[in-house]
Amino acid sequence: MKRIIFSVLALFIYFQAFTQITFQKGHLIHSSDIGVSILNDTNNGMVILSNDNQFVQFISLGFIDQYGNSISTIDYSTTENMFGREVIRLSDGGFLITGSVTINLNQQMLLIKTDASGNVIWTRSYGTPNTDRGSSVKQGLDGNYYIYGTSSGLSSFSSAFLLKTDTSGNIIWLKDLSGIGINYSEKMIISGNSDIIVCGWNANDLCIARFDTGGNAQWAKTYSAGFGDLGSSIQETSSGSIIVAGTTYVQIGPNAIINHALFIKVDNAGNLLWADIFGGCCNDNANYAIETSDGGYLVTGGSNSFVGNSLVTTNLFLIKTDTSGTPLWSKYYGGNINSLDWGNYIAEIPDSGFAITGRSVGACYILKTDKNGSVLCNGYPFQLTNWQYNLNTTTQPLVVNNGTFTSSVYSITQTTVIPTVVDPCTVDIPETAENNSFQLFPNPTTDYLNIKGALVNDRVFVYNTLGQLVKNETIKQENGQIVLSDLPKGVYYITLMRDNVIIHSQSLCID
């Protein structure tokens, strides 16, 4: 009787962890959608920028309540291709979107300014006779707008650019960044002292550079391990240092290279403090990272290393680290065999949770977790190999050239749409989590657990409700047993892995 009472109490405590609002929603607006940027909104809601991922003809701005339901969604479209890459909230309460639009078969950088409800105020295109796109946009402390992008028309090859406009979109200056080694743009931030800090990449190196408000380079550095590295997102920390999430390519054989998630920290002068990589059996990419309110960091991206051990299956992951980049917990979400799920952008919600947008079940994926990454379904603990990484740092010449863009007022159509809500919890639960060929007993237990169906060298990982790994054992004989008497009473999550693939997962109660 005491065992039953404790088990019920433990489960009650476990589910109390989910009293904070958490959810996973897929908002399907077109035949296929992808979320690319997310902001906090009033009452713990969110504003999400997404794209039509199949025909690339629509940019959507969605207003979402704290439960993941659509309040309103606005489509922006033309007769040609459009793609949005980032949205910011302006000091006047409106929004500014950057991306690209195709005009007469020529891709141009795009700016859309809206009011607080998403209604278009003005739209402008910018560019050369070649290909141009905006990757990131910010509002400076002076009120003007800074856009970071990529152009193939400013120099003899692809180059990143930095553009400053006034609040009406009129060009103040344009800088070509090819001379400091950045060929492809990713993300940009405005630092606490108004400097502009950007990350990107060239043929082989991750690039970071810092500029003043006049576009003059303060420093520029590249970071490389030899086989290719790129930076996808950049943030300034509360201490003034800089974190960058991205990808590094690692040689695993004479003719074999795979990519792993890269996470680095540099000081405010670009000097490397540390570099970590996270990797499994297959390809892993880090797309975005933030500093969290507790002083640690949260990284999201996509990995092929979890379900199915296959290059055609990708899962969204979250990795929470301390200030040194050491993982505290890590979880993956969504992902049936042959699904493609990943995270593109993170916002910390005032209720101490996290909101992530990206892609799942062919829709714009909206994931809301608590501060420990917990969600009502599909939040599976995992362990990617993590190790310190050696990057070579090279200081680049501060050669920044002025450039010229043509700018034109551009007309787009605005339409209010109603998304179809898809629940990844019902359509995208990993098959491995419901493998009936395994039996774990007794459950509840007191001091040991039998694992029927386990083979020699299978790995067993036990996590607490915070997602922290508390036990890691290798099965020594078929239908093995593990000792749990060293763990305190409570609810746990157990994962069985074979050849780096999760083959079974379930909850466990120790009383």
Distances, alpha carbon 506 to alpha carbons 308, 356, 462, in Å: 17, 25, 10
Q: Which residues of 391-423 are buried (b: 16+ CB within 10 A; e: fewer)?
A: bebeebeeebeebebebeebeeeeeeeebeebe
- Helix, coil or strand: residue 471: strand
- Residue 19 pLDDT level (bands cut at 50, 70, 90): low
Is it the case that residue 297 has pLDDT exceeding 50?
yes
Round to whole Å and give the CA distance between 421 and 365. 10
Q: For residue range 411-461, list pLDDT tens digits in order.
A: 999 999 999 987 766 543 333 334 457 788 898 888 889 998 889 888 888
Write out the two tokens for 443: 């459950």
Round to whole Å and give the CA distance between 404 and 237. 34
Q: For residue range 163-214, list pLDDT tens digits in order.
A: 999 999 999 999 999 999 899 999 999 999 999 999 999 988 999 999 999 9
Round to whole Å and give the CA distance between 230 and 223. 9
Distances, alpha carbon 405 to alpha carbons 60, 133, 152, 163, in Å: 26, 12, 12, 9
- Taking alpha carbons only, the member of 335, 343, 336 closest to residue 287 is 343
- Residue 253 pLDDT level (bands cut at 50, 70, 90): confident
- Helix, coil or strand: residue 180: helix
pLDDT, residue 387, reads 74
Round to whole Å and give the CA distance between 345 and 234. 11
- Taking alpha carbons only, the member of 329, 352, 331 closest to residue 343 is 331
| Mean predicted confidence (pLDDT) in 151-163 | 92
Task: Output DSSP code: residue 33.
Answer: E
The one-letter code for the residue type at 185 is S
| Mean predicted confidence (pLDDT) in 251-256 | 74
Round to whole Å and give the CA distance between 275 and 498. 29
pLDDT, residue 314, reads 81
pLDDT, residue 500, reads 58
pTM to 2 decimal places: 0.82
Contact 492, 511 (CB under 8 A): no
Cβ atoms < 10 Å from Cβ of 459: 18
Write out the two tokens for 448: 């040991």
Mean pLDDT score of the chain:
86
Non-local (6+) Cβ contacts of 134 within 8 A are 85, 86, 98, 99, 100, 109, 110, 111, 126, 147, 148, 149, 163
Task: Output DSSP code: residue 179.
Answer: G
- Helix, coil or strand: residue 29: coil
pLDDT, residue 10, reads 45
Q: For residue range 329-356, list pLDDT tens digits in order.
A: 888 887 555 567 889 999 999 877 999 9
pLDDT, residue 507, reads 73
All structural domains of the chain, each given as residue ranges with its CATH number in brackets, are: 435-510 (2.60.40.1930)
Q: For residue range 23-43, list pLDDT tens digits in order.
A: 888 898 888 899 999 999 988
pLDDT, residue 471, reads 86
Is it the case that residue 215 has pLDDT exceeding 90?
yes
The gap from C-alpha 507 to its chain's centroid, in whole angstroms, comes to 27
